[in-house]
Each structure stands twice: as C-alpha cells, then as structure tokens.
Amino acid sequence: MYAIFRTAGKQFKAEPGRLVKLPTVDAEPGAKLTFDEVLLGSDGTAIQAGTPLVKGAKVTAEVVRHGKEKKIIVFKMKRRKGYARKQGHRQKYTEVRIDSVVLG
C-alpha cells in the first residue's frame, strides 16, 4: 500500500513505516502530522488517481527529527572579468515516519 502526496509544492511517496525527508515543517519531534493532499493511492491491487485529489484519502506521519542536508557549493565565475563568488548552502529538512495511509 502506498500513496503519493503533496506538501510544500513537492510530491512524496508514502508507505507505512517508511522514513521521508520533507522541507522544514514547524513541528516538534514526536508530533503527528496529517497530509490531506493525496494525488494517487494504491492498495496493492487497484490504483486510485485523483482529479486532482483522491477524496477522503489522507496520510498520517510522526516527526522523527530535524536536520540539515550535506553542504553544496554554489560557485559563480565570469572569465576574464575578475569575478568569482563561492557560497555554501545546507538545506534544512524534517524527517517523518509514515504511520498510516488511508484511501477514501
């Protein structure tokens, strides 16, 4: 059983027991989250596709921890102009454990 849900403008695949990294969510570790924007769901035999959402479907998850991704380097340069800029960035995320997937 799985579902594709949308949060923060991105889509994620949810399966019970799976850990998923989402863009930062304001919630303490141990808090429960519910995602109602389910785009597609499957119970193993049939697939339900929403138009645009599956009615009555929801995904519940528990916040495990917050963290930062590995550092990426953003380097800009213009040749022969003496222009070079180096900047690092670490994207913040929230890791959640999917508790259940309910299809309507």
Cβ pair 29, 63 in contact under 8 A: yes
Task: Encode pLDDT of 84-100 as tens digits.
Answer: 999 999 999 999 999 99
The b/e string for 55-78 (b: 16+ C-beta within 10 A; e otherwise) is: eebbbbbebeeeeeeeeeeeeeee
Question: Model confidence at 74, in pLDDT bands (50, 70, 90)?
Answer: very high
Instruction: Report d(CA 95, CA 29) in Å as an integer.
Output: 9
Segment 22-35 mean pLDDT: 97
Ordered DSSP codes for 16-66 = TT-EEEEE--S--TT-EEEE--EEEEE-SS-EEE-SSS-TT-EEEEEEEEE
Task: Encode pLDDT of 60-72 as tens digits.
Answer: 999 999 999 999 9
| Residue whose entry in the numeric block shows the structure tokens 């900047």 | 87
Segment 11-20 mean pLDDT: 97
Could you tell me the pTM of the whole model?
A: 0.86
Q: Say whether pLDDT at 38 is over 90.
A: yes
Counting residues of the chain whose pLDDT is more than 90, the rounded percentage is: 98
Q: What is the pLDDT at residue 104?
A: 79
Average pLDDT, rounded, for the chain:
96
